[in-house]
Structure 1
Amino acid sequence: MVDPFDYFIDAIGAIRASAPVEPGVAAASDRNWSASATVYNLFVRYNAAFDHDRDGRIGTEPLAGGFRETGTLLKAIAMLPYIKRMGVNTLYLLPLTSIGKVNRKGELGSPYAIKNHYKLDETLGEPALDLPVETQLKALVEAAHHLGMRVVFEFVFRTASIDSDWIGEHPEWFYWLRTDRDPASYGPPAFDHNTLARIYEQVDKHDFHELPEPDEAYRSRFAPTPETATPGENGYTGTTPDGGECLIASAFADWPPDDRQPPWTDVTYLKLHDAPRFNYIAYNTIRMYDEALERPEFRAMALWQEITGIIPWCRDEFGIDGAMIDMGHALPPELKAAIVTEARRGKPEFAFWDENFDPSPKLKEEGFNAVLGSLPFVIHDVQYIKGLLNFLNRNGVAIPFFATGENHNTPRVCHHLTGKEAGRRRALFLFTLGAVLPAMPFIHSGMEICEWRPVNLGLNFTDDDRQHFPAETLPLFAPAACDWSESNGFAPLCDDIRRVLDIRSLYLDLVRRGEIGSIMQPYISDPALLTVMRKSGEKTLVFAGNSNFDDAVSGTMEFDEEAMELEELITGRKLTVSDHKVTLDFAPGECILFELPGAAEE
């Protein structure tokens, strides 16, 4: 048992005892600090939640003493020394802004249903403190800075809540549905097989001329901008020029065009272009913009200017060091460029991360410092991982990607592995692999204790998953907490993570290299085994690991050097090369790191 007061006082003492770092820890000379970042991704409402009264549930109302069980900024401050001890130097927070109340998914609503960009979610504050929630957030950022940790906020600019405060003042910034067309039957547009094939072919070729549109029946469901917009318990209703009634159109997955994720009932897409022909929500109006739409005269410039002012305000108000752009891949390039330019005005070291999957030179030219990347989407099969590494080796890595096997939209690394040591092995295998790539080591909060329950069923989930985890019960929408008390029967990975990060720091210049040909995969005799070699000058670092998390596997590697002794860096044990080869015996999920002598080549 832990007394919360004593725990928090100890945490504050640990923060105060650290060597102080000046506010704004990102030095102006370090404009590429993301390349050296180790990230801890925190969803405050969930990851800092705890069942204080031990009644088996996370309550949504404050307890008698004025403290909440759902995660708060105060509890996030208390977590900082723990996060820092793992070797983390960057805190990445999912959206903290106020949440819409209409058509909420789950009891708490989605943090992506942004009601007002300039207000915070009040439930993130502890009522007992009698301090504005804004003050509590400033305290969190200040405490992180004091520990030498940078802070990145995630921003949502492609969508808003269906009761957004912007609707009353600017109904033209939103898509509206006619209410005489049975709103209950509204959903993504359907395309036949041939049309889908044509869509994919054109998009693959970057041919956005006359992209196939939804049929007339779908397009006619959308109303022109209403003359008035009136708020009500069920959201805004509008009156069209012809006297008809309309309401805000909710959102759905934007790509691929036949995606059938559950609808996003509490959010809507912002109408970034104003062109009567394209007054509908579909893939060609909200992401893969038709070239007839993506023209300067159709840009909703008042909305664009409003959006570009949000990050500078937040940067100055809370002292943050960077921004992650949600659905950055769905924003017009010119808008993204304006967002980056304005946020860096007077602060060139301000970092930008993008929800994009290809760490290409194009994104670097756009001013981004890191991207999500594809690693979380290939981890289920070692052959897919090898394919991704081959792709990165052929094309190069212009900017770092997130070195992680999971985020809040994907299955957890330990998904379907609850109660098995295999989950722990898999988590450490993937973290160690990511640590030797030109990427940002990334800990999705809970990964280090092998949490297996998904946060959201976004990508790579099965129909069985969707039946087993109803959307309204998921942590992204409902009260929940990680299993901090039991760690799912695993020994936490915190010490292992720190050990791997300490090794990475010794080879940082080497692993940060991302040029073409810098991520080699030396031959090893068993296909279940994965190898990665990083080489720069006299240093060569090798990763080798067993992707079979249930069974032991042996494999042989060959070298030009006839005989040599190698030190395995994680455990310190010796590896003996004789007759140009070494046979490695791997326990399930085991991985190793070793350095080759400067004169030796594989």
Structure 2
Amino acid sequence: MIRQDERINRMLEYFAGCQFKKVEPIWIPALWNECGYLSALDNKDGEILVDPAGFMVKHLQYLLELSSGYVNIDQTDLDNSVIYCSLLRYTSAWDYNHTGNIQSGTFLKFMILLPMLKKMNVNILYLLPVTQYSHLNLKGDIGSPYAVYSLFDLDENLHDSLLDGMENLTIHDELATLVEACHLLDIKVVLDLIPRVSARDNVFLAEHPEWFYWIDLNVLPGFQPPKIAELEFFAECTPDKLETIYRSEETLVFLNQFRLPPNELDAALWSDLKRRALESGESILPMIEREMGITPAPAHSDWINDVQPIWTDVAFFRLYNDASPLVRSYLPEGQPPYVLFDTIKCNVYPGEEPNRELWNTLIEAASFQLNTYNIDGFRMDIGHTLPVPLQESMFKVIKDIKPTAILISEDLFNRNHREAARTGYNVMLGSGWNIMTDIRVERLEEYLRELPELQIHVFACSETADTPRITSRGGVELARLMTVFNYFLPNGIPYLTTGMEVYEEQPLNCGLGDNTGGADIPKAFFNTMTINWTNESTLLPLLEQLKQIKRQYSNLLKPTNFYLSDSQGDIMIYSYYLKDELFSVCFNLNPEKEQTLKTELIYPGAKKTNLLIESEQGGWNKPGSEETYEMRPYQALVLLMELIK
């Protein structure tokens, strides 16, 4: 591998040497040309045709120049952070050669977007899985990045062929170079670590089949968790529900589908299968299915009566060799290892025999990724279900390597903030994704009341990679309104899902808050897709405005200064008050009708009201001494009031 701190310069030297060689030009979105490349060979319909070597020289030089304005500080100021979430293969995917075929995004191509991210005030880049994924049991035409084949290898599609001539360069170097480029611009890089599930076909299967749960192959087509009629929809698996779950006939049928791992089911046949797989190079899973009639159980939600379909491409790791003492009395005699709502939640229902070898491997994977790529932390996929001792051991290793590591919990609800903070996380997903599925004054106000008391920062988001796009709920106007709403929340980190900046409507996934009615639409998690980078309208100017205002009033925008102002009909207002200034953010949540905002009702006797930002144009009216503003449907305003003492 190439030494750290030399990678960008080495890559610059390489492309400088390629400039005069005959290399096929490529088309890129004009929006990406932040470096000001002036030698485009052609331009049309929001794209430019460039010599790739010449463009990369200009871009890398620009990155180095831009870096002089930033210092890479170890400790991240979460109060003044913005997170950008990217699925790399999708974010920078494009038809670069205009052949009609979309080429995968790469580590190199994503580097082109970094100056644009800085304009959006991004200082944390959260990368969805970049690890090697399985090509068996594909969802869609490309397969889910969460169907991880190996935690120690990268998706080969993220290699860029433009770098084929660079000596001693590995794909690991390509990711490390991206991280180095991010650090030059004071952007921390957080990877998605997947310690709770793996692809059903994975690198561990041949040597450690006992690390997974197995079912009879014949039940695979209709396999799903039991529906518990006595319990409500989307119920959490709490101890008081265990007897109801395990006394259910559906649960007994479900448990009967599980089988012993192949090495225990038939040791002699298993040894023969391993030998033949090694000799032929064939994946061992199809051989197991053909000759032993079993397969790893597909994963499913840990919530009871959840409508999410099962995850046919991934399987849970078996983190304990035994079942929790709380459920043993309910199990049939001789029950093979199984996975259900409670066994998924190893944090609440641990066994007594940890799978130490597996635990050590997962910890080693985290250490490997930190040391190899010099990243700044992890978002722990389904991390809130990990055994507490495993999570503590993993976090200790992570923090020994990176004391200031950013650790993001996937926990879906703000109410779990104390537990997440106590465990060692400093950021969590939180409830925003759920609140934004039904945007009403009362609902948003309830959400806002709990934010100042949180012991951990949460994503301030109207969409995530797992939800439909906000534009699909209310168009561009709602997307702009919610961008303003999320930018100034106490203990909230503005969170931008890749594509939001150009009002992308196609989702990455719809596992949470689905508004499609289960329609079979393309999703970037599973299908080859591009972001609409040539959209003439973008969110970038508004994001730059928000960045400037937040910096200007940073001393005012503290959780201790936050309070909810009285709503005015469909206009919801939150404010920050300090000394003689009141910073108020106002939202007309009515999708169809204008609403009149009366500033006198926000703070009677305010000396002066300044309009800082409006998401859509409206209009001031000043009859007499009363200031009013006619707010358009789904319009947001940011106001600063000077107060009379």
> What is the TM-score with the length of structure 1 in the denominator?
0.85
The DSSP-based 3-state class of the residue aligned with 1:315 is helix
The DSSP-based 3-state class of the residue aligned with 2:181 is helix
- Residue number in structure 1 paired with 2:327: none
For residues 289 and 559 of structure 1, what CA distance do their matches in structure 2 show? 46
- Residue number in structure 2 paired with 1:440: 493
Closer, same or farther: CA 340–453 of 1 in aligned 2, 3 Å: same
Residue 187 of structure 1 aligns with an amino acid whose one-letter code is Q
Cα shift at 1:337: 2.0
For residues 8 and 42 of structure 1, what CA distance do their matches in structure 2 show? 21
- Residue number in structure 2 paired with 1:63: none
Say if 2:311 is the partner of 1:269. Answer: no
For residues 128 and 233 of structure 2, what CA distance do their matches in structure 1 show? 36
Say if 2:585 is the partner of 1:543. Answer: yes
Residue 167 of structure 1 aligns with an amino acid whose one-letter code is L
Residue 146 of structure 1 aligns with an amino acid whose one-letter code is L
Paired residue for 1:371, among 428, 431, 440?
428
Matched ranges for 1:200-219 at <5 A: 200=235, 203=238, 207=240, 210=243, 212-213=245-246, 215-219=251-255
Q: Percent identity?
A: 23
Cα shift at 1:568: 1.4
Asked whether the equivalents of residues 111 and 476 of structure 1 are also in contact (C-alpha less than 8 Å), the reply is yes
Asked whether the equivalents of residues 435 and 444 of structure 2 are also in contact (C-alpha less than 8 Å), the reply is no
Matched ranges for 1:165-314 at <5 A: 165-179=203-217, 181-191=218-228, 193-194=229-230, 196-197=231-232, 200=235, 203=238, 207=240, 210=243, 212-213=245-246, 215-227=251-263, 228=270, 230=274, 232-233=282-283, 235=285, 238=288, 245-252=293-300, 254-275=301-322, 279-287=337-345, 291=349, 294-295=350-351, 297-314=352-369
Asked whether the equivalents of residues 100 and 161 of structure 1 are also in contact (C-alpha less than 8 Å), the reply is yes
Paired residue for 1:125, among 159, 165, 173?
159
Cα shift at 1:199: 9.6
Asked whether the equivalents of residues 152 and 323 of structure 1 are also in contact (C-alpha less than 8 Å), the reply is yes
- Residue number in structure 2 paired with 1:404: 461
Closer, same or farther: CA 218–433 of 1 in aligned 2, 3 Å: same
Cα shift at 1:358: 3.6
Equivalent pairs counted in the alignment come to: 558
Cα shift at 1:183: 2.8
Cα shift at 1:542: 1.1
The DSSP-based 3-state class of the residue aligned with 1:336 is helix
The DSSP-based 3-state class of the residue aligned with 1:570 is strand
Residue 226 of structure 2 aligns with an amino acid whose one-letter code is P
Cα shift at 1:361: 2.5
Closer, same or farther: CA 567–412 of 1 in aligned 2, 3 Å: same
Residue 529 of structure 2 aligns with an amino acid whose one-letter code is A
Q: Structure 2 unaligned runs (5+)?
A: 1-42, 264-269, 324-330
Say if 2:527 is the partner of 1:478. Answer: yes
- Residue number in structure 2 paired with 1:71: 105
Cα shift at 1:584: 2.4
For residues 174 and 512 of structure 1, what CA distance do their matches in structure 2 show? 47
Residue 105 of structure 1 aligns with an amino acid whose one-letter code is K
Closer, same or farther: CA 111–337 of 1 in aligned 2, 3 Å: same
Asked whether the equivalents of residues 566 and 575 of structure 1 are also in contact (C-alpha less than 8 Å), the reply is no
- Residue number in structure 1 paired with 2:26: none
More moved, 570-579 vs 322-331: 570-579
Closer, same or farther: CA 346–390 of 1 in aligned 2, 3 Å: closer
Closer, same or farther: CA 259–566 of 1 in aligned 2, 3 Å: same
The DSSP-based 3-state class of the residue aligned with 1:508 is coil
For residues 201 and 257 of structure 1, what CA distance do their matches in structure 2 show? 6
Paired residue for 1:503, among 545, 549, 552?
549
For residues 389 and 561 of structure 1, what CA distance do their matches in structure 2 show? 26
For residues 448 and 198 of structure 1, what CA distance do their matches in structure 2 show? 35
Cα shift at 1:161: 0.4
Closer, same or farther: CA 522–52 of 1 in aligned 2, 3 Å: same
Paired residue for 1:523, among 566, 571, 576?
566
- Residue number in structure 2 paired with 1:567: 610
Asked whether the equivalents of residues 237 and 341 of structure 2 are also in contact (C-alpha less than 8 Å), the reply is no
Say if 2:47 is the partner of 1:47. Answer: no
More moved, 365-374 vs 108-117: 365-374
Residue 162 of structure 2 aligns with an amino acid whose one-letter code is A
- Residue number in structure 2 paired with 1:64: none
- Residue number in structure 2 paired with 1:94: 128
Cα shift at 1:84: 1.3
Asked whether the equivalents of residues 407 and 424 of structure 2 are also in contact (C-alpha less than 8 Å), the reply is yes
Cα shift at 1:110: 0.5
Cα shift at 1:306: 1.5
The DSSP-based 3-state class of the residue aligned with 1:19 is helix
Residue 386 of structure 1 aligns with an amino acid whose one-letter code is L
Cα shift at 1:75: 0.8
- Residue number in structure 2 paired with 1:62: none
- Residue number in structure 2 paired with 1:61: none
For residues 108 and 385 of structure 1, what CA distance do their matches in structure 2 show? 38
Closer, same or farther: CA 188–117 of 1 in aligned 2, 3 Å: same
- Residue number in structure 2 paired with 1:140: 178
Residue 500 of structure 2 aligns with an amino acid whose one-letter code is M
For residues 399 and 480 of structure 2, what CA distance do their matches in structure 1 show? 36
Residue-by-residue CA offset, 1:193-229 (whole Å, 9 max, x unaligned) = 21x24994872xx647656236222112111232137
The DSSP-based 3-state class of the residue aligned with 1:415 is helix
Q: Structure 1 unaligned runs (5+)?
A: 59-68, 418-422
For residues 233 and 482 of structure 2, what CA distance do their matches in structure 1 show? 37
For residues 86 and 22 of structure 1, what CA distance do their matches in structure 2 show? 15
- Residue number in structure 1 paired with 2:574: 532
The DSSP-based 3-state class of the residue aligned with 1:592 is strand
The higher relative CO (CA closer than 8 Å, separation ≥ 6) is in 1
Residue 485 of structure 2 aligns with an amino acid whose one-letter code is L
Residue-by-residue CA offset, 1:223-254 (whole Å, 9 max, x unaligned) = 12321374555825559xxx9642211112x1
Residue 459 of structure 1 aligns with an amino acid whose one-letter code is L
Paired residue for 1:590, among 635, 640, 645?
635
For residues 387 and 497 of structure 2, what CA distance do their matches in structure 1 show? 28
